[in-house]
């Protein structure tokens, strides 16, 4: 007998039939004697529809009212699932973020969780054997008493945070895939599902393009050492042993993984844009003049490469930003040209970032060098490189993305055998 949090994404609750399927998954765990809290997303496509309604109402809408609107999708799903569970003879009730309460910052549309009191949910486990069906993605700011939302994919973050608050044994993230793969199987058919992956590796995969989990949910799991299981909601509920190891991928601490591979996976992102500033005067304060205004505009800068000219007087500086921020970044730099003092601005939006991730890199030399050689043999030009202790990323022309991913996946022995 344990305590579980089960999270179901939008495709898993897309209609009433799928909500009934979710209810059967929940019933399986309840019948096995587990205390269960369920976190649900809005039905597939509903959040996008609500966002569009806000934009149609006013392009410059109030972020507080935006949150009030878009949070309603999860409210509908939680109520419907509670109704279905009750119809199956299971004690259940729906909870909105403000009822628990999930206390957050006041950064509407991208709030961060500050505190969750899980006492009432735990008490109801003991007193009523009641399943808590919780609307994900939302909370409340205690200073303003306004509904807040956690950003796209925020239901994952809600689930892991609630699991920590109620001291769950595990947080199961049910989705439309059956686990975490070494790379996108649509790009590399030989990609294989990982049985286990360390929090650090998953954090890098999530932040570098893998869309299985929201980055903040992985961060929370690592901070609270909360095991997270990624599994498919489309597996037949009656075919799964609730007392056995579920099919999927366990995200856990590195100590729980017996043998760490040098490379765990390959991530890629086509949502990249490159900006190069030519012939900048090489003097103190120039970098601050470039990246300060970008930070003030909340534009995240990723890869940075600087080259100094032969005479040492000028430098070229290249960096990348998300493609969605490209126009704002270019305009921000252009408006600061007087302070920066560059001769020319070059840019490209037809680029992609390919990243190689693995905790095993800490103890192995030459991992990146192998990749550079393999890419050169495929005539793939590298525009920029960044490295850290457990990953490296290369910026390449977007047309070569899939070739690069397949090449590196095979190079590091990640293909299925």
Beta bridge partners of residue 3, listed in sequence order: 35
Is the separation of the CB atoms in 173 and 159 below 8 Å?
Answer: yes
Residue 315 in marked binding region: no
Residue 211 in marked binding region: yes
Give the span between the Cα atoms of 313 and 379, in whole angstroms: 33
Residue 47 in marked binding region: yes
Residue 186 in marked binding region: yes
Sequence-separated (6 or more) residues with CB below 8 Å from residue 2:
34, 35, 168, 169, 170
For 216, phi then psi, to 5°, come to -65, -30
Per DSSP, the three-state class of 162 is helix
For 252, phi then psi, to 5°, come to -150, 180
| 154-165 helix and 215-224 helix, angle to the nearest 10 degrees | 10
Is the separation of the CB atoms in 121 and 37 below 8 Å?
Answer: yes
Give the span between the Cα atoms of 370 and 360, in whole angstroms: 15
For 327, half-sphere exposure in the C-beta direction (CA atoms, 13 angstrom radius) is 1
Residue 236 in marked binding region: no
Residue 391 in marked binding region: no
Is the separation of the CB atoms in 242 and 32 below 8 Å?
Answer: yes
Residue 115 in marked binding region: no
Residue 65 in marked binding region: no
Residue 196 in marked binding region: no
Residue 7 in marked binding region: yes
Q: DSSP letter string over 77-137?
A: HHHHHHHHHHHTT--EEEE-HHHHTEEE-S-TTS--EEEE--HHHHHHHHHH-PEEEEETT
Give the span between the Cα atoms of 325 and 389, in whole angstroms: 28
Longest pairwise C-alpha distance within the chain: 79
- Binding residue ranges for substrate: 47, 74
Residues making up the annotated binding site are: 7-10, 47, 74, 175-176, 181, 186, 211-212
Annotated binding site for ATP: which residue ranges? 7-10, 175-176, 181, 186, 211-212
């Amino acid at each position: 007998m344990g305590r579980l949090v089960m999270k179901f994404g939008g495709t898993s609750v897309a209609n009433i039939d799928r909500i009934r399927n979710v209810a059967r998954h929940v019933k399986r765990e309840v019948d096995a004697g587990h205390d269960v809290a369920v976190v649900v997303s809005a039905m597939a496509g509903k959040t996008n529809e609500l966002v569009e309604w806000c934009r149609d109402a006013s392009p410059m809408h109030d972020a507080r009212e935006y949150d009030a609107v878009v949070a309603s999708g999860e409210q509908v799903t939680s109520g419907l699932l509670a109704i279905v569970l009750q119809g199956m003879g299971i004690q259940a009730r729906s909870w909105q973020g403000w009822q628990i309460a999930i206390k957050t910052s006041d950064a509407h549309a991208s709030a961060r969780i500050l505190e969750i009191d899980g006492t009432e949910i735990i008490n109801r486990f003991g007193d009523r054997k009641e399943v808590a069906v919780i609307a994900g993605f939302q909370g409340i700011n205690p200073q303003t008493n306004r509904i807040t939302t956690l950003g796209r994919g925020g239901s994952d973050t809600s689930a892991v945070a609630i699991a920590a608050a109620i001291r769950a044994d595990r947080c199961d993230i049910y989705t439309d895939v059956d686990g975490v793969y070494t790379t996108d199987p649509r790009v590399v058919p030989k990609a294989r599902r990982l049985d286990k992956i360390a929090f650090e590796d998953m954090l890098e995969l999530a932040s570098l393009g893998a869309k299985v989990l929201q980055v903040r949910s992985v961060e929370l799991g690592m901070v609270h050492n909360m095991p997270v299981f990624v599994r498919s909601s489309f597996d037949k509920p009656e075919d799964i042993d609730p007392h056995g190891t579920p099919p999927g991928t366990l995200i856990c601490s590195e100590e729980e993984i017996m043998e760490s591979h040098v490379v765990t996976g390959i991530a890629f992102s086509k949502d990249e844009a490159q900006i190069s500033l030519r012939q900048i005067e090489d003097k103190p304060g120039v970098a601050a003049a470039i990246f300060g205004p970008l930070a003030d505009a909340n534009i995240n800068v990723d890869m940075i490469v600087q080259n100094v000219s032969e005479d040492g007087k000028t430098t070229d500086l290249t960096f990348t930003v998300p493609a969605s921020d490209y126009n704002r970044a270019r305009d921000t730099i252009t408006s600061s040209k007087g302070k920066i003092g560059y001769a020319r601005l070059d840019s490209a939006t037809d680029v992609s970032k390919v990243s190689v991730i693995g905790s095993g890199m800490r103890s192995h030399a030459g991992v990146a060098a192998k990749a550079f050689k393999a890419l050169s043999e495929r005539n793939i030009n590298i525009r920029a490189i960044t490295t850290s202790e457990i990953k490296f990323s290369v910026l390449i022309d977007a047309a070569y993305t899939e070739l690069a991913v397949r090449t590196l996946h095979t190079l590091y022995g990640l293909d299925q055998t």
